Chain A
Amino acid sequence: MATTAPSIQPSATLAASTLGIAKRGLLKFLRTPQLVVLGTIQGALFLLIFRYVFGGAIGAGGLSYVDFLVPGFITTGILFSGMGAAAGVAEDLEQGFVDRLRSLPIPRSAVLAGRALADTAVVVWGLAITTVIGFAVGFRLHGSLTDALAAFGLLVVLGFAFEWLFITLGLFAGNAQAAQGMALLVFPLTFVSSAYVPVESMPGWLQAVATHQPITVMVDAVRALTQGPAAEALLGHGAGFYVVRSLLWAAGILAVFVPLAVARYRRG
């Protein structure tokens, strides 16, 4: 005699389960004061140091240093606030949270999508904070408001793309400490770019790296959008040139890391 389950429950849909998992990620952030407060203070501190300590020694062509720095700072900020995702994913794996989710009747992609959504929201929060501090230390828009909003939108897209890089790192790392270690590759990536100093001030071989890596393109897109003609004159191309290249990079990052993360997650 065959037994049947007393009530066959419907599985949660992709959207519902993604949102449920994203909500958990957000609550974890909001209810861990260390993450919110320390992250914010750290960001502010570095911005102040660059602006007031190093700033005087760094020439930035036609722009004032604060106008040069803040777009770079905000753009690299999405990597610094995003790198926490790597350790977070590894921790979920270690502590059995991922096993719990994998044993539930939900679409497998929901777990990673929920994670990426929540972490992108965290990145947006960091973005908003550094923008406010940027204005407080003298940063001003020299382009249109529409362009500035476009810059913000672009940063959110880039933040989402980088999340998948960090999620992949977390899945492959095996434990939170290793994941954190791997996420440190953010440092050379951000410092060897046009984010904090003009690329022209670097030695020739380093210039070649800095000019062609994605962070520089993204920083320059934000710079061109927020600083208008002065920035475009300094950079050599119009905003569109950098925006299109940034979006291509974002698409490339997603095309590589989404399938990689999903494949690794499925394998268990």
Chain B
Amino acid sequence: MTPIIEAVGLRKRFGKTLALDGLDLVAEPGQVLAVLGPNGAGKTTFVRTVATLLRPDAGELRVAGHDVRREPNAVRRAIGLAGQSAAVEPAMTGRENLELVARLFGQDARSARANSARVLDQLGLADAAGRLARTYSGGMRRKLDLGASLVGAPRLLLLDEPTTGLDPRSRIELWDAIRALVERGTDVLLTTQYLDEADHLAGRIVIIDHGRVVAAGTPTELKQRAGRNVIEVHARDRADLARVAAALAALDHGEARVEEATRRVSVAVEAGADRLRDALRSLDAADLAVDDIALRPPTLDEVFLALTGQPLEQTPDDTAGQPAA
């Protein structure tokens, strides 16, 4: 099978910042690939390059078998793009928005109408189809934007941080919509800063930082390497921190992280609720007072630390000084 996306040594520079620094990535058809990474990691640059909005400086990039530089129009026919903002026309109805994009895909009036109706129905927007998009909620607009990327029946859907800025309910609704699409056989490339989003949607996750892939695998593989859950304890007394850390570290033979300033201690654990009970028991046995204790999924920061041995750096232009080898 031809990979749906095949990037080899992809490089893109903006002024002094190397946004993509020799990125290698292969996406097989029939799956959702999530590109996970902090702000400034190069996620958006990568999606924009796949969407033919940016030309790579060096390296190879083929989308659906077509070279992005030599055959951009063939690539454009194969993709649908939904960016970070809802790029819909507020002064047009939901239906008009989709029909416009369908017509621009070269569909005749009849199939544009039929496809728009089908997509609106799929996304649960049929009732709002005749309303101007400016009356839509943020979540509905994002769905309509997703619809605009679908109405051309693309082989590959590109979603750049599709749920950023959405409230939790709209976020879950959009996840459902994306999952339904995948079941219908559309390939998806999505970028996100949220591990849980990648976990919910993707069959394969690629973690990138500074424009390079730092880890890749299925969600399960990555989480096994990073710990399935995190127990976080807020110690009442600063003097107890070391003992709290020791008690937590003993749970799963993991290494506890101590944050002095916030009196927080956290540790990665495999089994969730059982270990939480164990934690409470051993803290109690050692007579350690806590203000708060919680079980939560690992943050991107923690996954990153576990996988790369390095904490997430917040400055995206650290690579600026490196030689472009």
Contact = CB atoms under 8 A, between A and B. Distances in A.
B65 interface: yes
A96 B89 CA distance: 11
B5 to A, nearest CB: 13
Contacts of A32: 91
B35 interface: no
B197 interface: no
A99 B96 contact: no
Contacts of B172: none
B100 interface: yes
The 6 tightest CB contacts between A and B, nearest first, are: A96-B87, A105-B76, A103-B81, A31-B91, A28-B91, A100-B87
Interface stretch (A7-15, A63-71, A75-83, A221-229): A7-15
Interface in A1-42: 1-3, 5-12, 16-17, 20-21, 23-24, 27-28, 31-32
Interface in B47-72: 48, 51-54, 64-65
B101 interface: yes
6 contacts: A3-B65, A9-B105, A12-B103, A28-B91, A100-B148, A103-B53
**Interface of chain B, helix or strand or loop or mixed?**
loop
Contacts of A102: 52-53
Given A100-B81, A105-B77, A16 B103 contact: yes
Interface string A110-125: 0000000000000000
A104 interface: yes
B104 interface: yes
A166 to B, nearest CB: 19
Contacts of A2: 2, 65
A112 B52 CA distance: 18
Contacts of B54: 268
Contacts of A268: 53-54
Contacts of A9: 77, 105-107, 152-153
B53 A11 contact: no
Contacts of A101: 104
A101 B76 CA distance: 10
Interface string B20-56: 0000000001000000000000000000100111100
A8 B54 CA distance: 24
A3 B89 contact: no
A112 B89 CA distance: 16
Interface in A154-204: none
A10 B106 contact: yes
Nearest to B72: A105
B71 to A, nearest CB: 11
A117 to B, nearest CB: 15
Contacts of A10: 106
Interface residues of A, number: 33
Contacts, number: 101
B1 to A, nearest CB: 6
A97 interface: yes
Interface in A77-99: 95-97, 99
Contacts of B76: 103-105
A31 B132 contact: yes
Interface in B64-103: 64-65, 73, 76-81, 83-89, 91-92, 96, 100-101, 103
A9 B101 CA distance: 13
A103 B2 contact: no
A54 B79 CA distance: 59
Nearest to A100: B87
B100 A28 contact: no
A235 interface: no
Given A5-B78, A100-B87, A105-B106, 10 more contacts: A3-B1, A3-B2, A3-B65, A9-B105, A9-B107, A9-B152, A96-B85, A99-B48, A100-B101, A104-B152
Given A5-B155, A100-B148, A20 B100 contact: yes
Interface in B141-155: 148-149, 152-153, 155
A44 interface: no
Given A3-B1, A31-B132, A103 B106 contact: no
Contacts of A21: 104
Contacts of B51: 99, 103
A102 B49 CA distance: 12
A27 B51 CA distance: 28
B83 A11 contact: no
B152 to A, nearest CB: 7
A187 B70 CA distance: 46
B104 A106 contact: yes
Contacts of A24: 89, 92, 100
B38 to A, nearest CB: 22
Contacts of A96: 83-87
Contacts of A28: 89, 91-92
B105 A104 contact: yes
A27 B92 contact: yes
Contacts of B155: 5-6
